[in-house]
Structure 1
């Protein structure tokens, strides 16, 4: 199981829970640090040294150290690997282009891809949040025949689309303006913190039981 798959499963189970856990949404404090630290190191080293080589090498080394620390501690490495794909893609992209700003390009494309997929799910009236909830609750496709339920899942999915759209609206102009430090900072701020806030809003919309309990039948009159 990849780290991305693990995070999606965690998100799905959290949506179906009775209480929202911020700790679980961000993968715990260690998970939060491990997901954010490579980006922090990249921005800091760029501000100090400039160029692209030192920031790229530093961010890759940070991920490697976190994985080794997990292995030494005999703890699961999936959480430490959560940012490995993004860091690896960004590192290769920046190294080949010889530009630190290119480090963020793969992430922009990934967000754009997610945004398109989420919008398509809404257009075909199979909102992704509804699909996830139906799988968790074993409802099949019956929820699509309930206008109120379908509308609620459409709104919840729209929040997810809004998250990806907001990232692009903020980060693409910074990339085009070659504001590497600001772009790195924006990506950090719009990473797990924004994800957790969006997940809370989605949970708030979908926490209404899919099948409200029927009122108990009145007791027969006593004689």
Structure 2
């Protein structure tokens, strides 16, 4: 990997590139804030349209700030895209005659599907020896596959990728049964929405920060760059 030549350790090289790919703290916050606001607004006000407007409004404010600062809007656009998908599921439920509670329940389905699909893709990439985090690094260095020639980087990227899999699996394991229970009628839809809202917050930032903390710990180790190097 060409970026390695500028760093003394494998971790330093990957840490720098991964930080850029994830957008840092600001990028992750911009991706999470609109969804958190939707959940909190629904739980406190019980008005679906208001919750959607608040989440969209927050994303648009963040977008304007980025445009004024002339910085990348990638992570805000990602949030708007997620809201758009949620809006589609909500109005699809409304078109089929679903109650407001059922519509709110539908808003959480894309997140569950996304986490499930993301976990499968990430796990598969590790199992075939091409961890997805490696491609995140490659997208920044300008060579999508050069990182794969260094076994140390591949091992490190595999560990980092598995750490991204864990939160996704936990979210699906916790949220899917509640969503299914609310949709099937075995659980009151309003109660299911409330539980999903709480789970989305509890398993959102706290869980993501825990995973990122573990990733940071891995990236603070010192593996000198070189074919025969071992971790310090």
Q: What's the TM-score bracket when you normalise by the shorter of the two chains? A: 0.5 to 0.7
More helix by share: 2
Asked whether 1:197 is paired with 2:214, we answer no
How many residue pairs were aligned?
A: 193
* Contact in 2 for aligned 1:108/1:172 (Cα 8 Å): yes
Asked whether 1:87 is paired with 2:91, we answer no
Quote the offset at 1:92 in angstroms. Answer: 1.6
Seen in structure 2, the aligned counterparts of structure 1 residues 166 and 51 have a Cα distance that, compared at 3 Å, is same
* Contact in 1 for aligned 2:34/2:58 (Cα 8 Å): yes
Quote the offset at 1:106 in angstroms. Answer: 1.5
2:60 aligns with one of 39, 43, 64: 64
2:116 aligns with one of 112, 119, 124: 112
TM-score (norm 1): 0.67
**Structure 2 residue matching 1:76: 3-state secondary structure:** coil
Aligned to 2:187: none
RMSD over aligned Cα, in angstroms? 3.7
Structure 2 distance, partners of 1:167, 1:213, is 38
Kindly name which structure, 1 or 2, has the bigger radius of gyration based on alpha carbons: 1
Aligned to 1:208: 222
Task: Give matches, 1:10-21, under 5 Å.
Answer: 15-17=14-16
* Contact in 2 for aligned 1:171/1:186 (Cα 8 Å): yes
Seen in structure 2, the aligned counterparts of structure 1 residues 91 and 122 have a Cα distance that, compared at 3 Å, is same
Provide, for residues 26-66 of structure 1, a one-character-per-residue CA deviation record: whole Å limited to 9, x for no partner: 227xx62x434322332233234425333223322332343
Aligned to 1:43: 39
Quote the offset at 1:103 in angstroms. Answer: 0.9
Seen in structure 2, the aligned counterparts of structure 1 residues 131 and 92 have a Cα distance that, compared at 3 Å, is closer
Provide, for residues 112-136 of structure 1, a one-character-per-residue CA deviation record: whole Å limited to 9, x for no partner: 2211111111221222234555775
TM-score (norm 2): 0.65
